[in-house]
Amino acid sequence: MNDSTELRRKIDANDIYVPPGYEVSTFATNLTTPINLVFSDSGNALVGDAGVTDGNGKVISLNQNGFEVIADGFNPPLTGINILGNDIFVSHRGFVTVVKPDGSKVNILSGLPSWGDHHNNQVVFGPDGKMYFGQGTATNSGIVGVDNRGWVLNYPFFHDYPGKNICLIGRNYITDNFLSSAVDDFAVTGAFSPFAVPTTQRETVKGIIRASGSILRANPDGSKLELVAWGLRNPFRMKFNRKDKLYTTNHGMDIRGSRPIANSPDEFYCVKPGCWYGWPDFTGGLPVSLPLFRPEGEPQPKFILANHPNIPPRPFAVFKPHSAIMGFDFNYNERFGPVGDVFIAEFGSEAPRTTGGKPAPRVGHRVSRIAMNTGEINTFAINKSGYPASKTDGGGFERPIDVVFGPDQAMYVVDFGITGEDEHPNQNEHTEYHSEDAHQHNYLPGTGLIWKISRI
């Protein structure tokens, strides 16, 4: 949240296309990196602030006086909040913390493997009374490399951990050794191994519960942590439908690092307990050894696991590479649209860091609809220009990151704000956040907002 009353971005709901019969308005403006929205049983709105501009994740409440911070001090990035009874569950790097009604905070989970590229994500509550959440991977595709320099300097022994015992082929990758001051020093790094630590043929890596790229569950007090599924690069957001089926988003691999993968799609899955979903040897249900996934000017990706736990399932729906699908919700209002269909936020590309130096593809920066009877994807709301607003000096979407239906049955779209290469051409200042992630962005405070899309 930004204290300044001056808006830091142009806002014009008319710049957003929606189908006939819908209208777009603003619900809240002048926010900083809002990452998700939840409504309490009484209808109060709570917003999670990722905290990446000031190193301070926050929970923000909407009341009669506007938005106010009701809890802060969370380790950025705060990736999501949720409500159970009178408690607020906050997911932030390495921790799940409960904020009690009196404002006290209790860490119910700690030590989660979130010190690499991706983190532990928002918790949701299942019909079994458990809380579920996604845990992202440390690396892009299983190898710690120069693209991970930012966090390797702080956590030199950190790497990915499998959910079950795996046998490695023993394929190693050679890169510059940025941990050494010697000239022409090279590092040899294997899969599921720390930087500069090679692996051998048929080497076994022991699986753990707190696995990278996994879906985990526990009791709401954090006890009895269990592994539900693994082999997902970054299961960012998940939700149960009314038939008690769990669905999750998953982000595809990038053209970066020691083992770059091209054309890796984003995926939407119905979660099968006990299943391995293919990372780091499959993407979109297909093996990375196919020519489709070879980056221009790079070698063909090869398997790094000697044996695969199972044949990975095909996704329920597949999104174009670099769409960056984020938060979603099921529609149960027949007047708004087909009952049971999913509306999902697409954050958009992080080019050129993730695309091998290529310009940003024309994907993302929109809200899409997944027809749950067919898996077909259609655009529901998008800027009329087709580009993020800051690229065209428009007033529409920038970085949609969450979609939720409110108690009034309207759709609310959380817009993270102007980030990185999307900075407004007329801005004269910004805050740079030096994260431990592979990706470092510039975030412009006060440019986040929440849109409201209503049926008319």
Q: How many CB atoms lie within 10 A of CB 18?
A: 17
- 386 DSSP assignment: S
Q: What percent of the chain has pLDDT over 70?
A: 93
Is 8 inside a domain boundary?
no
pLDDT(430) > 60: no
Is 259 inside a domain boundary?
yes
Is 3 inside a domain boundary?
no
Nearest to 104, CA basis, from 142, 71, 63: 71
- List alpha helices for 122-237, DSSP H: 149-152
Cis omega before residue 280 (within 30°)? yes
- Which pLDDT score, from 0 to 100, does residue 432 have? 27
Is 218 inside a domain boundary?
yes
Q: Quote the tokens at residue 443.
A: 């975030």
Could you tell me whether strands 411-415 and 448-455 are parallel, antiparallel, or unpaired per DSSP bridges? antiparallel
Is 39 inside a domain boundary?
yes
Q: Residue for token digits 């200042």?
A: 429
Q: How far apart are CA 345 and CA 322, in angstroms?
A: 13
Give the CA angle between residues 358, 431, 392 to the nearest 5°: 50
What would the mean pLDDT of 245-259 be, rounded to a whole number? 98
pLDDT in tens, 195-216: 999 999 999 999 999 999 999 9
- Which pLDDT score, from 0 to 100, does residue 196 have? 98
What are the angstrom distances between the C-alpha of 101 and each of 34, 86, 98, 110, 119? 22, 6, 10, 21, 26
pLDDT(183) > 90: no
Whether the CB-CB separation of 438 and 140 falls below 8 Å is answered with yes
Is 261 inside a domain boundary?
yes
pLDDT in tens, 38-71: 999 988 999 999 999 999 999 999 877 788 999 9
Q: How far apart are CA 130 and CA 217, in angstroms?
A: 6
More confident site: 182 or 396: 396
Is 191 inside a domain boundary?
yes
What would the mean pLDDT of 318-341 be, rounded to a whole number? 97
- Which pLDDT score, from 0 to 100, does residue 184 have? 87
- Look at 24-28, 179-183, 216-220, 451-455 and tell me which has the smallest mean pLDDT: 179-183
pLDDT in tens, 127-156: 999 999 999 999 999 999 999 999 999 999
How would residue 438 be classed by pLDDT, with cut points 50, 70 and 90? very low
What total of structural domains would you count in the chain? 1
Domain that holds residue 314: 13-455
Q: How far apart are CA 96 and CA 48, in angstroms?
A: 13
Could you tell me whether strands 366-370 and 131-135 are parallel, antiparallel, or unpaired per DSSP bridges? unpaired
Q: How far apart are CA 20 and CA 4, in angstroms?
A: 36
pLDDT in tens, 262-304: 999 999 999 999 999 999 999 999 999 999 999 999 999 999 9
- Which pLDDT score, from 0 to 100, does residue 67 have? 86
pLDDT in tens, 116-130: 999 999 999 999 999
Is 341 inside a domain boundary?
yes
Indicate the length of the chain as a whole number. 456
pLDDT(344) > 90: yes
Q: What percent of the chain has pLDDT over 90?
A: 86
Q: What is the CATH number of the domain that holds 385?
A: 2.120.10.30
How would residue 358 be classed by pLDDT, with cut points 50, 70 and 90? confident
H/E element, 450: strand 448-455
Q: Residue for token digits 């009604």?
A: 101
Q: How far apart are CA 391 and CA 252, in angstroms?
A: 24
Who contacts 165 (Cβ-Cβ below 8 Å, separation ≥6)?
204, 205, 206, 207
SS3 assignment, position 139: coil
H/E element, 390: helix 389-392
